Amino acid sequence: MAKTHHYREVDGTYFDAAPAGDTLRQSIPASAAATFRSFEDAEAWPQWLDAIDEVTWTTPQPFGVGTTREIKGRAGVISEYFFAWDNGRRMSFFFDRGPLRVVGAFAEDYELVPTGDDSCELVWRYAFECPGGYRVLQPLIAFVFKRMGTKWLGQLAEFMAQHGAQYG
């Protein structure tokens, strides 16, 4: 079993202060409310984000600030802590612990901006840092993660085009 590392706790200011990260945008053919409900559905994530095999919410609904979940993927199990939650509009989390030694801190922010009755724009921000000698890898990780993130957001748009009605 892989050793578990604790990552640095961060908050919303980290997105502007982190040494690496980016902001990506994606038009979604579903309302912000429906898209957000899909984010709350543990079964939906692995259908559009191929790096995730399983999502387990480790706190009961209703979700909010302080919610936790575990993401199982190729890298192992990563525990996440939600530090921002605006139901139907935004959620932000940081990695709490996991097997990735190359990560010192990592956070994501999902903001949904309505663009019509049945459409929205996802503004996805991520920020991270690599500790110690791994810092040299930050530019490469940032490049790869941006490419993967662009693909994942496109897959989310396709998923919502096909399944958005079930979350409406």
In a domain, 91, yes or no: yes
**Domain at 115, CATH number:** 3.30.530.20
The gap between the terminal CA atoms of the chain, to the nearest Å, is 40
Predicted local confidence at residue 1, as pLDDT: 55
Please give the torsion angle defined by the CA atoms of residues 162, 47, 145 and 81, in that order, rounded to the nearest 10 degrees: 110
Predicted local confidence at residue 7, as pLDDT: 98
**Predicted confidence (pLDDT) per residue in 122-139, tens digit:** 999 999 999 999 999 999
In a domain, 81, yes or no: yes
Mean of per-residue pLDDT scores for the chain: 97
Mean local confidence (pLDDT), 14-41: 98
Question: Using DSSP, how many helices (H) and how many strands (E) does the chain show?
Answer: 4, 8
Predicted local confidence at residue 119, as pLDDT: 98
108 vs 10: CA distance, rounded Å: 10
In a domain, 31, yes or no: yes
In a domain, 168, yes or no: no
The vertex-58 CA angle with 70 and 76, nearest 5°, equals 15
Domain assignment of residue 142, given as a range:
5-163
**Predicted confidence (pLDDT) per residue in 77-120, tens digit:** 999 999 999 999 999 999 999 999 999 999 999 999 999 999 99
Q: Are 126 and 4 in contact (CB under 8 A)?
A: no
pTM of the model: 0.96
90 vs 46: CA distance, rounded Å: 20
Domain count, the chain: 1
